[in-house]
C-alpha cells in the first residue's frame, strides 16, 4: 500500500463552509448547520484513493462490493475513477461489481441490530479479491459483522475502502484499509448518507441541525 491508512483529517473545531456559499436544495435549507465536505473535494480525494487501490492490486482482478444504500455514490465514483485509470495506463485491473444491503441506523443511533436485508448469494465471492466499499465507519460494528459474514465464503482477500471514518469514543477500534476523510463525532448527511432515508439527494456532506433531526425523526420501535 502506498501510504497505509493515510487520510484527510477534519478537526473537531472545523466549521466547514456556510450554506450560502454553496448550492443546497431548497427543501433542506433549514435543516443543515454547515457544509463539512464539498462534493468536489470528495471527487478529488476519491481519485487518489482509486489510484492507490489500482496500484496496490497490480493486475489482480477485484470484485467491488458496494454496501447499500449509503455506499452507492462513493462506490459509483470510485469505480468510475478506477475505470478511467484502467483505460489510460499500461497495466489494468479487471473489475466486477456486487451489492449488499445493510441497515442498522434509526434516527442518529445505531439500532444495535445489524440487518443484512438484501444480497445475492455471497458464495460467488469465494476465491476472489473483494474490495468492500462503504460510506462511513462509525462504531465499526457493522463492518466487523460484515467481515465475519464474508470470511465464511472464503474470498482470496478482503480489503475495505470507506469514504469516512468517524472519531467516536464508541469505536471498536476497527480501521479500514483505505480512508477518504476522518471526521468529528457529529451526524453527517449528504452524498448518499441519510437520516431516516432523507438527505441522500444532497451532494455535499453536511452536518444536520436540530431542526432537521426533529423534522425527519421517526418513532423508535
Residues in touch with ligand HPA (CB under 6 A): 70, 105, 136, 138, 187-189, 193
Among ligand HPA, Mg ion, none, partner that 138 touches (CB below 5 to 8 angstroms by kind): ligand HPA
Q: How far is the CB of 106 from ligand HPA (least distance, A)?
A: 11
Q: How far is the CB of 55 from ligand HPA (least distance, A)?
A: 29
Q: How many CB atoms lie within 10 A of CB 86?
A: 15
Q: How far is the CB of 207 from ligand HPA (least distance, A)?
A: 9
* Residue 135 in grid coordinates: 460510506
- The question of whether 194 is a catalytic residue gets the answer no
φ/ψ of residue 61, rounded to 5: -65, 145
Q: Which residue is nearest to ligand HPA (CB)?
A: 138
| Per-residue binding letters, 131-160, with Mg ion (x by CB under 5 A) | ----x-------------------------
Query: How far from chain centre, in Å, is Cα 201?
Result: 15
Query: Is the bond preceding 69 in cis, omega lying within 30 degrees of 0?
Result: yes
Among Mg ion, ligand HPA, none, partner that 203 touches (CB below 5 to 8 angstroms by kind): none
* Residue 34 in grid coordinates: 454547515
Nearer to ligand HPA, 77 or 138 (CB): 138
Cα pseudo-dihedral 92, 43, 48, 146, rounded to 10: -80
Where do we find the cell 445493510? Answer: 102
Residue pair 22/196 in contact (Cβ under 8 Å)? The answer is no
Out of 31, 77, 135, 138, pick the active-site residue: 138
> Which residues of the shown chain bind Mg ion in the complex (CB under 5 A)?
70, 135
Amino acid at each position: 500500500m502506498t501510504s497505509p491508512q493515510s487520510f484527510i483529517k477534519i478537526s473537531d473545531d472545523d466549521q466547514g463552509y456556510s450554506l450560502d456559499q454553496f448550492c443546497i436544495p431548497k427543501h433542506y435549507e433549514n435543516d443543515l448547520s454547515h457544509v463539512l465536505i464539498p462534493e468536489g473535494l470528495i471527487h478529488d480525494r476519491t481519485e487518489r484513493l482509486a489510484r492507490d487501490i489500482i496500484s496496490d492490486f497490480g493486475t489482480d482482478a477485484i470484485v467491488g462490493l458496494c454496501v447499500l444504500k449509503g455506499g452507492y455514490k462513493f462506490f459509483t465514483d470510485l469505480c468510475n475513477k478506477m475505470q478511467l485509470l484502467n483505460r489510460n495506463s499500461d497495466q489494468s485491473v479487471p473489475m466486477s461489481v456486487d451489492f449488499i444491503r445493510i441497515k442498522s441506523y434509526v434516527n442518529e443511533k445505531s439500532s444495535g441490530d445489524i440487518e443484512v436485508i438484501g444480497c445475492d448469494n455471497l458464495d460467488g465471492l469465494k476465491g476472489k479479491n473483494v474490495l468492500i466499499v462503504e460510506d462511513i465507519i462509525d462504531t465499526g460494528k457493522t463492518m466487523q459483522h460484515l467481515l465475519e459474514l464474508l470470511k465464511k465464503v472464503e474470498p482470496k482477500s478482503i480489503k475495505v475502502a470507506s469514504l469516512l471514518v468517524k472519531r467516536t469514543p464508541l469505536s471498536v477500534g476497527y480501521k479500514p484499509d483505505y480512508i477518504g476523510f476522518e471526521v468529528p463525532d457529529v451526524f453527517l448527511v449528504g452524498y448518499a448518507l441519510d437520516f431516516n432515508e432523507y438527505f441522500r439527494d444532497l451532494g455535499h456532506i453536511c452536518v444536520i441541525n436540530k431542526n432537521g433531526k426533529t423534522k425527519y425523526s421517526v418513532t423508535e420501535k
